[in-house]
Amino acid sequence: MYDLTYKKAKSCDAARELLAAADDGKLLAGGMTLVPTLKQRLAAPDMLVDLDGVDDFKTIMLCDNNLQIGAMATHAAVADSELVHTHLPGVAALAGQIGDPHVRNRGTVGGSVANNDPAACYPAALLATNARIHTDQQIFAAKDFFVGMFETALDTNEIITAIHIPIDQKCAYVKCPNPASRYALAGVCVARRHDGNVQVAVTGAGQDGVFRADEIEAVLAENFAPDALDAMSIDPDLLLSDMHANAEFRAHLVVQMAKQAVAKLQD
Amino acid sequence: MTVVNLVVNETPVTADVEDTMLLGVFLRESLKLTGTHVGCDTSQCGACVIHFNDMAVKACTMLAVQADGAQITTIEGLAAGDKLHPVQQAFIDNHGLQCGYCTPGMIMTAVDFLAQNLTTDIDEISTALEGNICRCTGYNNIIKSIQQAARVMGADEIADEADYV
């Protein structure tokens, strides 16, 4: 990797000051994407500011009918959290399916969300559940946050502190993982609020990253059952085609994953 | 350069390391602990798995400076003197290795897994090994080894769970 200076921040303020002093500083969370990127010389920051020392960012707690998950909570911590299991078991299950055990021990929700990989799992859950992304400067609704492939509404040097997910709902996430990387070829999160409102978000399949599946939502609003999607078809024109799966196959997967997610929510 | 203080296999270590040095390189080249293997160097194969504060992680995808203040265990730190860890012994007893390249990572992953979930369940063991690749494809005996270790460590036999053959 290119030469750089590493600094470990002990607080959000310290991280902000370190970033301000760098020409092109980058925040280091779990490093599960950033470290491989640096090793391949695909990025050349002059400074890494490690957030691992910011203990406030690791807490998982309830906050005004929201599950608050600190940006530096690892996937393993979310998957094992009793609070997450109690209030949003679908989110715990999602975290337990990311990558492999070693990735889950290091990778963080903040890092996943900031990177906005088009095949990452968390963006689908955040978009479907109307989560909010809290930063050191503002609060984003998920629908305003995920802008495009690997692109978010974050400003340069803005620091994600936590995500907040309303607990007045149930959600389920089902993905068809790439057998090698475990990234989603297509992953669907279905969230059903206690008042009956249904939202569906898709990851892994969209050319512009995560998106809401309006047609599926409309059908499920009328009839919340897997069978209701039997005749559903998704237009492959806006879906990804690559060596792993073509757009037509992904369109098929989206509907199948949605049906499985709905089935999980019917008990 | 940054000075790091850490504990490796219960021995305190202080070192001045390049900020860009990978943890796997630090362990192998600075500390000469070459039991940790670097296979793919792209965080896919799992040959480099070590325990970082009692959690299995891939040492090829961490910087040495990130380990400041950490407790690290490598494959060299697993045995108690001459007595091998039950997972190590089980790999010998069950021919759990062929070329042996993936073995340190397999064992470190298995030890962390059994510490959290002491089970002989084949599906759960297979899932735990998702981040480790054996290019000799010796997975059957690797799973058998982990089943034996689980039993030795006190796992209850699952009634309908035969040995993996």
Do the Cβ atoms of A69 and A108 come closer than 8 Å?
Answer: no
The residue-averaged pLDDT of A133-151 equals 97
Using CA atoms, how far apart are residues A49 and A192, in angstroms rounded to an integer? 38
Q: Which CATH architecture has domain A55-166?
A: 2-Layer Sandwich (3.30)
Q: So what's the pLDDT on residue A180?
A: 82
- The answer to whether the CB of A217 falls within 8 A of the CB of A229 is no
**Are the beta carbons of A102 and B128 separated by less than 8 Å?**
no
Mutate to test the interface with B, among A100, A178, A181, A183 (most CBs of B within 10 A): A100
Of B161, B71, B145, nearest to B109 by C-alpha is: B145
Name every chain B residue with its beta carbon within 8 A of the beta carbon of A103.
Answer: 43, 58, 131
**pLDDT tens by residue, B132-154:** 999 999 999 999 999 999 999 99
CATH tag for B86-152 (out of 1.10.150.120, 3.30.43.10, 2.40.50.140, 3.90.330.10): 1.10.150.120
Q: How far apart are CA B106 and CA A2, in angstroms?
A: 31
Q: Does domain A169-264 have CATH number 3.30.390.50?
A: yes
> Quick one: pLDDT at residue A182?
83
CA–CA separation, A79 and A96 (whole Å) = 5
Q: pLDDT tens digits for A48-65?
A: 999 999 999 999 999 999
- Return d(Cα A185, Cα A162) in angstroms, integer: 27
pLDDT confidence of A267, banded at 50, 70, 90? low
Q: What is the pLDDT of residues B61-96, one digit of tens each?
A: 999 999 999 999 999 999 999 999 999 999 999 999
Give the mean model confidence (pLDDT) for residues A9-26. Answer: 97
| Closest chain B residue to A45, measured at CA | B20
Q: What is the mean pLDDT of chain A?
A: 96
Spans of all domains in chain A: 5-50, 55-166, 169-264
Cα separation, A108 vs A185, whole angstroms: 21
How big is chain A, counted in residues? 267
User: Model confidence at B155, in pLDDT bands (50, 70, 90)?
Assistant: confident
- What pLDDT is recorded for position A181? 81
Measured CA to CA in angstroms, residue A32 lies from A66, A111, B18, B47, B152 at distances of 27, 8, 20, 16, 34
Contact flag A5-B19 (C-beta cutoff 8 Å) = yes
Question: How many angstroms separate the CA atoms of B41 and A33, rounded?
Answer: 13
At residue B156, the pLDDT reads: 77
Specify which residues A25 forms β-bridges with: A47
> What confidence tens digit (pLDDT) does each residue in B36-55 have?
999 999 999 999 999 999 99
- The band of B158, judged by pLDDT with boundaries at 50, 70 and 90, is low
Tokens standing for A16? 């902000």
Q: Are B26 and B41 in contact, with CB atoms under 8 Å apart?
A: no
Which two tokens mark B102?
């993936």
By CB atoms closer than 10 A (0-12, 13-18, 19+), residue A242 is: exposed
Mean pLDDT of all residues in A116-144: 97
Q: What is the mean pLDDT of residues A91-119?
A: 97
Give the pair of three-digit tokens for residue A61: 């707690």
Determine whether the interchain pair B66/A50 forms a contact, defined as Cβ–Cβ distance below 8 Å: yes
In eight-state DSSP terms, residue A183 is -
Which residues of chain B are in CATH 3.10.20.30 domains? 2-77
Query: Model confidence over B3-19: pLDDT tens digits?
Result: 999 999 999 999 999 99
A215/B contact by beta carbon, under 8 A: no
Instruction: Flag if A106 and B63 touch (Cβ within 8 Å).
Output: no
Burial letters A38-74, b for 16+ CB under 10 A, else e: bbeeeeebebbbbbbbbeebbebeeeeebbbbbbbbb
Residues 6+ apart with CB under 8 A from A38: A1, A2, A4, A45, B20
Cα R_g (chain A), whole angstroms: 18
- Determine how β-strand A139-141 pairs with β-strand A47-50: unpaired
Which residues lie closer than 8 Å to B146 by C-beta, 6 or more apart?
B87, B90, B110, B113, B114, B125
What whole-number distance in Å separates Cα of residue A228 and Cα of residue A209? 26
Helix (H) or strand (E) holding B5: strand B2-8
- Interface probe for A, chosen from B26, B63, B132 (most Cβ of A below 10 Å), is B63
> Å from B69 to nearest chain A CA?
11
Domain with CATH 1.10.150.120 in chain B: 86-152
Mean pLDDT throughout A212-235?
96
% of residues, chain A, pLDDT over 90: 97
Mean local confidence (pLDDT), B115-121: 95
C-alpha distances in Å from residue A181, one per residue of A123, A176, A184, A211: 17, 11, 9, 21
Q: d(Cα B1, Cα B104) in Å, to the nearest integer?
A: 29
* Closest-approach residue (CA) in chain B for A41: B20
The CATH code of the domain at A5-50 is 3.30.43.10
Type of residue found at A171 = C
Residue A66's contacts (CB-CB under 8 Å, 6 or more residues apart) are A132, A164, A165, A166, A167
Whether the pLDDT of residue B162 is over 70: the answer is: no
CA angle B131, B136, B137 (to 5 degrees): 60
Is the Cβ–Cβ distance between B51 and B70 less than 8 Å? no
Please give the residue of chain A at the shortest CA–CA distance from B23. A35
Match domain B2-77 to its CATH number in 3.10.20.30, 3.90.930.60, 3.40.50.11740, 3.40.50.300.
Answer: 3.10.20.30
Question: What one-character DSSP code corresponds to residue B30?
Answer: I
DSSP B125-159: HHHHTTT---TT--HHHHHHHHHHHHHHTTPPPPT
- Which residue, among B47, B36, B38, B27, has the nearest Cα to B131 in the 3D structure? B47
Is B119 part of the contact surface with chain A (CB cutoff 8 Å)?
Answer: no
